[in-house]
């Protein structure tokens, strides 16, 4: 059997010869460029602002978001640094119970950023409980 596959783009692409069984579903997030990534950080910041975080954690989260925004604004962001900041932010948000009230508004930009990071984004997804 021969596959002739042209250009493919997507969050998840499966090319199989024969049967494929998927348990638990598949999803993916594709962001095209740095501007999209900066927009995701802005979306996350707006969701955090609306989440009314406890005063004990709000400064820490905002500081991480400032660092995250500065990193993704660079021409070639350090994805490992972005991943670390995103994971720390997600863990603090989870420990503060922010996902209970703000759920999808926080989860969407975090999971999209994790998708942009590829395998480096897995710790942030795990911090979400995904």
Domain ranges for the chain: 34-128
pLDDT value for 129: 77
Which of these, 81, 88, 27, lies nearest to 57 by C-alpha position?
88
pLDDT for res 27? 59
User: What confidence score (pLDDT) does residue 5 get?
Assistant: 57
Report d(CA 53, CA 79) in Å as an integer.
26
Which pLDDT does position 99 carry in this prediction? 80
Distance set, CA 57 to CA 71, 86, 88, 120, 124 (Å):
21, 15, 12, 24, 18
- Residue-level pLDDT, tens digit, the chain, 130 residues: 555 555 544 555 666 667 777 766 665 555 545 569 999 999 999 999 998 889 999 999 999 999 999 999 999 999 999 999 999 999 999 888 888 877 788 999 999 999 999 999 999 999 987 5
Residue of 87, 71, 89, 81 lying closest to 34 (CA atoms): 71
Q: What is the pTM of this model?
A: 0.74
How far, CA to CA in Å, does 20 sit from each of 1, 15, 69?
Answer: 16, 9, 39
């Amino acid at each position: 059997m021969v596959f002739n596959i042209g250009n493919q783009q997507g969050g998840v692409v499966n090319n199989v010869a024969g049967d494929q069984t998927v348990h638990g579903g598949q999803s993916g997030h594709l962001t095209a460029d740095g501007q999209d990534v900066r927009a995701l950080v802005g979306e996350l910041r707006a969701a955090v602002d609306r989440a009314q975080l406890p005063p004990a954690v709000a400064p820490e989260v905002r500081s991480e978001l400032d660092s995250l925004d500065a990193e993704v604004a660079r021409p070639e962001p350090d994805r490992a640094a972005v991943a670390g900041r995103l994971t720390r932010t997600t863990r603090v948000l989870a420990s503060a119970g922010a996902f209970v009230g703000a759920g999808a508004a926080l989860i969407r930009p975090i999971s999209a950023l994790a998708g942009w990071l590829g395998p480096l984004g897995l710790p942030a997804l795990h911090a979400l409980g995904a």
